[in-house]
Structure 1
Amino acid sequence: MAVFVALGAFLMTLVGGWTAQRVTDRRHLVLGLAGGLMLGVVGLDLLPEALDAAGQDVFGVPAALLLFVAGFLFAHLGERLLAVRQAAHGASDERVPEVGLTAASAMVIHSLMDGVAIGAAFQVGGGMGLAVAIAVITHDFADGFNTYTLTSLYGNARRKAVAMLFADALAPVVGAASTLLFTLPEQLLGSYLGFFGGVLLYLAAAEILPEAHHDHPARSTLLFTIAGVGFIWLVVGIAG
């Protein structure tokens, strides 16, 4: 049942990626929406789930928040290291394709864990499984949208962006199937969500949104960002 439901996430991810490809003449709006979706996923979905699941405090601070900060710093450090390598090759004014591939790979891992979450929820019960599946399938539109956008934003060829999109679409199915073999500890899932939330927040705040407003500091771009956050809020509210 879990694998069958995860096929819905597969299709929704492809729809999100297809949408991102069709709006190249409104790139700033695409990026503004992507930034809003990422911000909404982090603040309204990933971080609350991480705080609930990770549980214990570490020296007075919830473990999920520590990993959230660690994820943010990890993304920042990774980008700085790639930028230094880029500058050493005399290409400091160009985007580094590896950054986009790394970011998209993180999205694939996240989608894999989405599938694991679906399978684990069905291990608890059918009602819980369907509730989690609805949330995952709905926000996988944003995952597909962001995976294609992140890959292409950094100068990767379209074929690579499409390949990452298909990998992201397949990941929930693989993740759901894997739960037939093991049970994922709740604290481990919460820790992962916290760390990945920090990575996504860095990408949204330091890369996607500044790029969206660089050439088009328009009010419409800001409205699309707010709409992205609002959409995730609606999804979380319906799923809850």
Structure 2
Amino acid sequence: MRGVATPVTATFAALLSAVGFSGASLLALLGKGMGVRGRSYSVAVAAGLLLALAFADLFPEALELSGRTAVWGFVGGFSFLLLVETFTRAHTHHSPAEHVREHALAPLVMGLAVHNLADGFALGVSAELSAPAAGAVGLGVLVHQAPVGISLAAILAAAHATRAQVLRVAVPLGLAIPLAAALTTALPAPGDRALGLLVGAAGGVLAYMGASHLLPEAQAEHRSRVPGVLFVATLAATTLVLFTLLGG
């Protein structure tokens, strides 16, 4: 039975997810003074988190929603960020002095905006479901928003972002979740096909950021075996947690 309180449940879940994401992102404020080794390790962990979320959470969910359409969403999201960088950046290599700031932060913020909007849309659509189903969707979003926020915190810390910069990035990205949820509940809800396309695109952008930016950054910052080991351990552990908590 559809409960009249379901839209309130969806809105509350969206706000809770926003707090979880932004709160985790603010951990970047604790990373000031991070050295080369610390930057490399934190970026390797962030890469593992994002790739696990892309392939073990978002892409399977998109496939369940819309089948082959999800594949096009994934490919489209991945390709979109690549083309944006191709046409807006004059060079593809950077010196060690540049660290992460110029080359990973901008696409990361863009990709996470797509990701958080997709989560907000999913929560908004859940307002059309039963209260237990809406609660399950909200829990799923909250479960993977926290590690996404942690990955953003790692990159912000590695980029030596100031307190003001951290707040300017973390807070608006978090607010994108309830904003998208509110718009979805106020407007006609998109069907599973459209939502699957969007979730697939979110998976594509996270996969692009993890594989194209963060992992190479981690290896370039500090050439040792430790970043690779940390990446694999984070990838495996996050995938296991997602499968356990989300029943993947």
Normalized against structure 2, the TM-score is what? 0.80
Residue 58 of structure 1 corresponds to none
Residue 67 of structure 1 corresponds to 73
Percent of counterpart pairs with the same letter?
26
Residue 49 of structure 2 corresponds to 37
Q: 1:53 to 1:18 in 2, by over 3 A?
A: same
Residue 181 of structure 2 corresponds to 176
- For residues 64 and 130 of structure 2, the distance between their equivalents in structure 1, rounded to whole angstroms, comes to 19
Residue 189 of structure 1 corresponds to 195
1:3 equivalenced with 2:11 (yes/no): yes
1:153, distance to aligned residue in structure 2 (A): 5.7
- Give 5+ residue unaligned stretches, structure 1: 56-61
1:223, distance to aligned residue in structure 2 (A): 3.4
1:43, distance to aligned residue in structure 2 (A): 0.6
Residue 59 of structure 2 corresponds to 47
Match of 1:22 among 11, 27, 30: 30
- Superimposed CA distance per residue, residues 27-78 of structure 1 (whole angstroms, 9 cap, x where no aligned partner): 21211111001110111011111111123xxxxxx23223322322222222
| Conserved 8 A contact 2:104-2:209 | no
- For residues 222 and 133 of structure 2, the distance between their equivalents in structure 1, rounded to whole angstroms, comes to 43
How many matched pairs?
A: 230
The residue type paired with residue 151 of structure 2 is N
The residue type paired with residue 103 of structure 1 is L
- Give 5+ residue unaligned stretches, structure 2: 1-8
- For residues 94 and 15 of structure 2, the distance between their equivalents in structure 1, rounded to whole angstroms, comes to 41
1:138 equivalenced with 2:150 (yes/no): no
The residue type paired with residue 35 of structure 1 is A
Deviates more, 1:32-41 or 1:70-79: 70-79
| Conserved 8 A contact 2:28-2:157 | no
Q: 1:180 to 1:76 in 2, by over 3 A?
A: closer
1:156, distance to aligned residue in structure 2 (A): 6.2
- For residues 200 and 125 of structure 1, the distance between their equivalents in structure 2, rounded to whole angstroms, comes to 30
Moved over 4 A (4+): 91-96, 148-158
Normalized against structure 1, the TM-score is what? 0.83
Deviates more, 1:23-32 or 1:186-195: 23-32
Q: 1:138 to 1:118 in 2, by over 3 A?
A: same
| Conserved 8 A contact 2:118-2:202 | no
